[in-house]
A and B are shown apart, each in its own frame.
Chain A
Amino acid sequence: MTEIAEPMQAAAPMSTSRHTGEAAMKRLRQRYAAERRFKIYGILAITFACAMLAILMFTLLKGGVSAFWQTEMRLEILIDPATIDPQGTGTPAGWDRGAFQTLVNDALYRDFPEVSGRLEKRDLRGLVSPVAGVFLGKVLDKNPALVGQTVELWLPTSDGINQIVKGGIDRDLPEAQRPINDQQLAWFSQLEQRGDVRTTFNSTFFTSSDSNYPELAGLLGAAVGTLLTMLVTVAISLPIGVAAAVYLEEFAPKNKLTDLIEVNINNLAAVPSIVFGLLGLAVFLNFFGMPRSAPLVGGLVLGLLVLPTIIIASRAALKAVPPSIREAALGMGASRLQAITHHVLPLAMPGIMTGTIIGMAHAVGETAPLLMIGMNAFVTQPPTGLLDSSSVLPVQIFIWADKPERGFVELTSAAILVLLAFLITMNGAAIWLRKKFERRW
C-alpha cells in the first residue's frame, strides 16, 4: 500500500514477534490509512472554503467592477445667463440651480433639431442623466466665468444608457424589456457614430454621497461615517477593554464575583448584535437624548459590541506573558503596576493590538445594531462631525441592495468590494502591527 509498509510486509511471515507479525502489519497499515484519510479531509475542507471564497469574489467582481466606470456623452451647452440667473444678480448665490438641467436639455434639443413633439422630447431627455445639471453646477461653481459662454462638457448618461453601453442590459432584448426604447437607441447610436460617447472612470463613486440616482451616488459619506464611527468605537473600547483585562488578570482576587464577571463577559461576546442596537436605542437615544443616525451613537454601540472581544483577547495576551517576567520586575522592587506597565503590557501589546483590530474589523461590517439607531438614513452629504447624520459602509450596501434601479445593483457589488478592501487593509494592519511589536528576541 505504501512505500513504508510494503518491505515490512515482505519480512512479516519470517517473524512471529508481536510487533512484526501479520496482525501488527495490519494495525500499521490501518494507522497509515487513517492518517492519509485525515489529511484528505483537511485538504477537502480547505478546497471547499477556497472555492466558496472564489465564487464570492467572482460574483462580486463580475457584478461590481462595471460600477467603477461611467458612460458619458459630449454636449455643447450654452450657459444662458437669462435661464440660470433670472434675477440678474450676476453672482453664484443668485443662480437657479434647478435651471441647470434645462440648459443640458436645451443642448440636447440643439443636437437633435429634428425632434419636436412633447413625448419625443421627453424620450430624448431620457438619454442624459436626470441629474446631469448637478454636474454642470459643479463645473460652474469651480469656474463662474463660464456663464454666458458655450462650453463643451462630458456629462453622465441616464442609467438605462449606461447599462446598455456597459453590457448590463442587452441591446437586442425586445423593446418592452429594456428601459430604453427603440427611438432612444437610434438617437444614441447617432451619438456613438459622431464619437460623442465615452466611458470613463467613475470618480463620482468616491467623491459623492448617497443619491436616488445611481450616476450621482457614491460612497464618500458612508466611508467618512465609517471612519468617524470607528474612531469613537476604538476610543471607547480600547482603553476600557484593556483596563478591564488588566484588572481582571493582574489585580482581581479569584472569587465567586470575578468568576461571575468572567462568565458574563464570555456570554456578552456571543450576544446577537441587534440586542446592542436595542440597547443603544433605549439608552443613548431615548434616555440620554442623543441624536439619531450620529456616528457618536453608532460608535458607542459598536464599542460596547466589541468590548468583550477586546477583553478576552487582551486577557489571553496578558496570560501568555511568562510569570517569570513579573517576578523579575517585582524582585527588582517594582510595584505591581510598574511591573505591568514596564514589562507585561509591552509584551502583551501585539496580542492586544491583534484582538482590537479583529474586533474593529467585526465592527466595521456590523449592520443590524446601526439600523436600530437610525444610521440607515438617506444622507447626501458626508458628515462633518460626530453628531451629524451619517451612514456607514455596510448600511449603505444594505440601502442600495434594496433599490430597484439597475445601476444600484452594480453599485451594491462595488460597495461590497470597497468594504472588503477596507477589511483586508485592517487585517493587514493587524498582521503588520503584530510583526512590528512582537518580541524581537
Chain B
Amino acid sequence: MMDTTTMTMPTETTATQPVKMSAKTVKVFYGEKRALHGVNVDIYQNEVLAMIGPSGCGKSTFLRTLNRMNDTIDICRVEGQILLDGEDIYDPRLDVVQLRARVGMVFQKPNPFPKSIYENVIYGPKLHGLATRKDEFDAIVEQSLKRAGLWNEVKDRLHEPGTGLSGGQQQRLCIARAVAVSPEVILMDEPCSALDPIATAHIEELIDELRESFTIAIVTHNMQQAARVSQRTAFFHLGDLVEVGPTEEIFTNPRDERTQGYITGRYG
C-alpha cells in the first residue's frame, strides 16, 4: 500500500495543525484472522476524521485500537505503532488507564451508567482524581453538560437517573461524561446509529463545536454525516485503508474506484 498520509494535501483547516495521533502499519488479528492489513493514517489536532466503509471493513476495529479497547478481547492482537503526541500507546510501560483518560470514547449505543446524571458526569473525574471538593465537581458537571449541549435540558434534574433520558439526550450525556475528564482525543463509534434524525442533527452540531477543543475520530455508516461533520475522511474496505483525504475531495473526486463505488452506492 502507498503511504496514504503523504498522498493527500491537508486542507486549510488542518494545514497549520500538528499531528495528534498517528497510526503506522497497524495490523490487527483476531486469533488467526487478520482484520486490518496495515493502516497508516494521521489524525491532526482539532480536526474531525471520519471513517467510512462497508460493514466488516475494520473501521470500528481500528477506532478501538486508538485507546486500546481491544485489550479486553483475549484473542485480539495488534501489530505496528500508534503514536499519541509521538509516544507509542502500545508501549508496555504506558498505563492504559492514563491513555483512556487522554483518549475518551463514545459508543454506538448510548450507555449511561444506571446512576444519576450528576454521578454519570463526575465518574471519570472522580476516577482520575481530577477534583475532590463538591464545588469542583459541580463546576465540572455544569461545564461538561454545557459543552454537550445538555445543560439547559437537565439542570433541574441532575439527580435523576441518566437512563431516564431520551436516546439522544443519553448519547449527549455520554459525550458529557467523556468530555468531563478533559481528554485530548474523543473517539466516536457510530454515535448516531441508534438515534432519530433530530437527535442526530443535534449531535452533529455538537461534534462541530467540540472540534475546537478536542481531536475527534468518528466511525459512521452514514456518508452524509461524514460529509457534514468531518474535515478529512478515511475509506476502509476489507481491512485496508483505501484512501484518506479532505472530505470534500473524497466525496467529489475519489482516487480509488472502490471509494468511488462505495460513495455512489454501488455497494455498502
Q: A residues bordering B, Cβ < 8 Å? A: 253-254, 322, 324-336, 338, 342-343, 347, 439-441
Contacts and interface: CB of A to CB of B under 8 A. Distances in A.
Interface stretch (B14-22, B23-31, B102-110): B102-110
B161 A440 contact: yes
A202 B155 CA distance: 62
Contacts of A335: 97
Interface in B82-138: 97-101, 104-105, 107, 109, 111-114, 123-124, 127-128
B127 A334 contact: yes
Among the interface residues B69, B99, B105, B164, which one has the most CB atoms of the partner chain A within 10 A?
B105
Given A338-B127, A441-B161, A441-B164, A332 B181 contact: yes
B164 A328 contact: no
Nearest to A324: B111
Among the interface residues A322, A326, A331, A440, which one has the most CB atoms of the partner chain B within 10 A?
A331
Residues of B in contact with A, size category: 20 to 34
Contact of B67 (A253, A331, A347, A440): A331
A43 to B, nearest CB: 38
A230 B232 CA distance: 65
Contacts of A254: 74
A328 to B, nearest CB: 4
Nearest to B106: A331
B36 interface: no
Interface string B126-157: 01100000000000000000000000000000
Given A324-B109, A325-B113, A441-B161, A331 B104 contact: yes
Contacts of A325: 111, 113-114
Contact of B127 (A332, A347, A439): A332
B174 interface: yes
B163 interface: yes
B237 interface: no
Nearest to B164: A441
B107 A439 contact: no
B177 interface: yes
Contacts of B224: none
Q: Which 6 A-B pairs have the closest CB atoms?
A: A441-B161, A333-B100, A324-B111, A331-B105, A328-B111, A333-B101
B72 interface: yes
B107 A332 contact: no
A290 B154 CA distance: 61
A343 B111 CA distance: 12
Contacts of A322: 111
B177 A332 contact: yes
Q: Report whether over half of chain A's contact residues are helix, strand or loop; otherwise say mixed.
A: helix
B111 A441 contact: no
Contacts of A330: 69, 72, 100
A328 B74 contact: no
B128 A333 contact: yes
A390 to B, nearest CB: 43
B52 interface: no
Contacts of A439: 114
Contacts of A331: 67, 69, 100, 104-105, 107, 178
B124 A333 contact: yes
A342 B115 CA distance: 11
A253 B113 contact: no
A439 B109 CA distance: 19
Given A331-B69, A336-B72, 13 more contacts: A254-B74, A322-B111, A326-B72, A327-B72, A327-B107, A328-B111, A328-B112, A328-B113, A331-B67, A332-B177, A332-B181, A333-B98, A347-B114
A254 B101 CA distance: 29
Nearest to B114: A439
A341 B123 CA distance: 13
Contacts of B100: 330-333
A254 B73 CA distance: 11
A59 B94 CA distance: 71
B105 A441 contact: no
Among the interface residues A329, A333, A439, which one has the most CB atoms of the partner chain B within 10 A?
A333
